[in-house]
Structure 1
Amino acid sequence: MSAPPARSPRVGVWLIGARGSVATTVVAGCAALTAGLHRPTGLVTEGPAFAGSGLPALSSLVFGGHDTTDCPLPKRAEQLAAGGVLPPGLPTAVAAELAAADRDIRTGGPLPGDARTAEELITAFTEDLRDFVRRHALARAVVVNVASTEPAATGTSLPPSSLYAAAALRAGCPYVNFTPSTGLHHPALAALAASSGLPYAGRDGKTGQTLLRSALGPVFAQRALDVRAWSGTNLLGGGDGAALADPAAAAAKNAGKERVLADTLGTVPEGEVHIDDVPALGDWKTAWDHIAFDGFLGTRMVLQTIWQGCDSALAAPLVLDLARLTARAHETGRAGPLTALSFYFKDPVGTAPAALADQYTALLRFARDLGDPE
């Protein structure tokens, strides 16, 4: 009688914004895939190119996190199903997994009226992470920021995203910033990031409009077509819509979108992106782009694109990809910015190609290297 297969070491995924739409979709989706209820559509790391990369199995992932809200994950999943984000019946089918993850969510901060200093908050968050790793006997844990966008940092004080990032590194956990928020980009954290010996990646997940921009920008550059203007509009609701109604938060979000065009076109065309909060849309969004360009002999032409989708369903598989890839990078001794993960980000850390095709090539090379770390 043959011995049963060895159980994969368990890997933690600690989500900042753990009761939000993206985090809830991540937990419910991972449980659904593990149970064989749905195909892994959108999950790049489930493709054949990653079969030999040594990534942690989806069934080995253990979820927890920080949040400042108290809506339980099972209830949040029911709300998402009612809005068409999750399939009908899925919250019931994975209720046990949602409840288990919810028990590992700790109160974040700073809360209104919170008198704790930045150092006290970082210390508290660090201990939450260490406790999570100890209690579940995890081989490692990856911290992924999926919280709402915060305004760009000003001055020397650390914004919430940077407090969580500092706690991740102090706890010995790799860090991924899926948002445009500051995170590890704060100058005060540069020395900690450099000395931590940990891998990190970010920032701002590339899910819709900017995904198209990173694919279309090289088309114009490679065909020697002159882009005169590139304007866009985003209509979205939910927590992101409310957060991005703040002009400062919207500016932080748009910086990555503009960088993609500058890097792929080699110039900065006229036009800007507008973000409008439409609460009735919930977790659904519409992104429209209007591209004015010149062809041969100055012939003026226009390309328009419309992207309609559910941000949580677009983001969740990418978060799972990033958690698995970053965990494996940590396991194989990598440290510093994971530039090969630029495929997933609008504003990637380190020096990375801007064109989507080049980013995908770098990702596949990274996947091969992970399977043969020597």
Structure 2
Amino acid sequence: MTTEPLKRVGVWLIGARGSVATTTVAGRAALAAGLHPPTGLVTAGPAFAGAGLPPLEQLVFGGHDTHPTPLPKRAEQLAEAGVLPHGLPSAVADELARVDAEIRPGGPQPDDPRSDEQLVDAFAADIAAFTTGHGLARTVVVHLASTEPMPAAGDARAPASALYAAAAITAGASYVNFTPATGMHAEGLAARAAAAGLPHAGRDGKTGQTLLRAVLAPMFAQRELAVRAWSGSNLLGGGDGATLADPRAAAAKNAGKARALADNLGSEPEGETHIDHVPALGDWKTAWDHVAFDGFLGTRMVLQTIWQGCDSALAAPLVLDLARLLARAHELGHAGPVPGLGFFFKDPDTDPPGLAEQYRELLALADRLAGRS
């Protein structure tokens, strides 16, 4: 299959100075320079060879954020916390500074007098100027901002994620929602994206506890073991933990976790998942699950799991995967939700629900992008 000459692709990050975004930018620079292997990068596997994905060195980053801490300083903080390798921030300092210069003020701030329409136009103008200013073939907008509360009746303003999704459409960019925020699920936006010929994917990246649940839940269903209750707990530090201390934000996060169980078990079992903010954990998290189930002759049994990890390090390679896949889908004229990308999300836009089935769909997508099917 012949392809056009390589062209640079923009990746516009919403929440561009957050932990996930900083890890993504620093990590891409490290991989492009050959400083580290692409561990965790799904699209680095042989199944994606020949799929026409933009090379990592062809990605150009910018974004929106409301926080003033520059990326080089944020990377130093993450290295001190053990999220980034020691010495990496200095090794990629020039790239971090270049990207930080492309970050524009986000919003809306609490006292912002602009209407939703004015904000959308302003955000879209930033994205369009970035795309044209760098001579980019296309741009992918990736929403990585802190979890926003579930919309409530009577809210005066549309969710920020929906404003950014609308801005992406206006700017002619594809869109990834890596958070449980509203995004493209706001009324009318998905139809607008499809009409504009823009692909999108989401929502809520499947990185830790829910990834493990997506593996374990089918095991119980396939072995005809009756799950009586599935309870869990998350201990989180960092900004995400502070955000999720808000019950409305936690409810948005837990909705995706519950869907993963319901989709794979056929119904949602008893039990709740609790999210607790533990500032001492910093950018690390601990997730515990307790599964009560019945076996043959009603024998009662329990499975317990503990997942300890760093969400930023788990999420960053998936952000790169999704940016590359959406850029290629956009190049080939795909519009609307992209089949095969449910593998990456708790609350995917497309079927099927099972992780193994989702992976097969992802491989089928790789074949389509490569022109092999």
TM-score bracket, shorter-length normalisation: over 0.9
1:368 and 2:367 correspond: yes
1:358 corresponds in structure 2 to 357
Query: Residues 187-217 of structure 1: CA distance to partner in whole angstroms, max 9, x if unpaired?
Result: 1424423322110000000000000111111
Matched, 1:334 2:334: yes
Confirm whether residue 162 of structure 1 aligns to residue 182 of structure 2: no
Aligned counterparts of 2:271 and 2:25: Cα–Cα separation in 1: 38
Q: Could you tell me which residue of structure 2 aligns to residue 234 of structure 1?
A: 234
Which letter does structure 2 place at the counterpart of 1:206? K
Task: State whether residues 190 and 336 of structure 2, in contact with CA within 8 Å, keep that contact through their aligned partners in structure 1.
Answer: no
Q: Tell me by how many angstroms 1:355 deviates.
A: 1.0
Distance in 1, matches of 2:231 and 2:237, equals: 20
Do the aligned partners of 2:339 and 2:365 also contact (CA within 8 Å) in 1? Answer: no
CA distance in 1, matches of 2:188, 2:322: 25
Q: Which runs of 4+ in 1 moved over 2 A?
A: 154-157, 188-191
State how far apart, in whole Å, the 1-side matches of 2:255 and 2:332 are.
33
Alignment-derived partner of residue 314 in structure 2: 314
- Aligned with 2:62: secondary structure? strand
For 1:168 and 1:232, the matched residues in 2 are separated by 36
Deviation (angstroms), 1:112: 2.6
Q: In structure 1, what is the Cα distance between the partners aligned to 2:93 and 2:6? A: 23
Per the alignment, residue 66 of structure 1 pairs with 64
Aligned residue number for residue 272 of structure 1: 272
CA distance in 2, matches of 1:111, 1:287: 32
Partner of residue 205, structure 1: 205
Rounded Cα–Cα distance in structure 1 between residues aligned with 2:185 and 2:79: 35
CA contact (8 A) 2:230 2:290 kept: yes
Q: How does 1:111-190 map to 2 (within 5 A)?
A: 111-155=109-153, 157-190=157-190
1:248 is aligned to 248
Report the residue type matching 2:150 in the other structure.
Answer: A
**Aligned 1:33-44 pairs, distance under 5 A:** 33-44=31-42
Preserved contact between residue 257 and residue 346 of structure 2 (Cα < 8 Å): yes
- In structure 2, runs of 5+ residues without a counterpart are none
Distance 1:104 1:183 in 2: 22
**Contact 2:141/2:176 (8 A) holds in 1:** yes
Instruction: Give the TM-score taking structure 1 as reference length.
Output: 0.97
Matched, 1:52 2:81: no
One-letter code of the match for 1:203? R
Greater Cα shift, 184-193 or 223-232: 184-193
CA distance in structure 2 between the aligned counterparts of 1:193 and 1:294, rounded to whole angstroms? 46
Match of 2:8 in 1: 10
Residues 322-349 of structure 1, C-alpha deviation per residue, up to 9 Å, x if partnerless?
Answer: 0000000000110111131000000001
Identity %: 70
Aligned positions, number: 368
SS at match of 2:13: strand
Q: Which residue is equivalent to 1:82? A: 80
Aligned counterparts of 2:45 and 2:175: Cα–Cα separation in 1: 24
1:290 aligns with 2:322: no
Secondary structure, aligned partner of 1:187: coil
Aligned to 2:194: 194
d(CA) in 2 for partners of 1:196 and 1:217? 38
Looking at structure 2, the residues matched to 191 and 324 of structure 1 have their Cα atoms a distance apart, in angstroms, of 23
Residue 91 of structure 1 corresponds to 89
Q: Does 1:218 align with 2:218?
A: yes
Give the letter for the 1:308 counterpart: Q
* Offset, 1:8: 2.4
User: Aligned partners of 2:353, 2:291: CA distance in 1, in Å?
Assistant: 19
CA distance in 2, matches of 1:19, 1:373: 38
Question: What is the Cα deviation at residue 268 of structure 1?
Answer: 1.3
Contact 1:339 1:348 in 2 (8 A): no
Distance, in Å, in 2 between the alignment partners of 1:7 and 1:60 is 12
Instruction: Output the CA distance in 1 between the equivalents of 2:314 and 2:42.
Output: 12
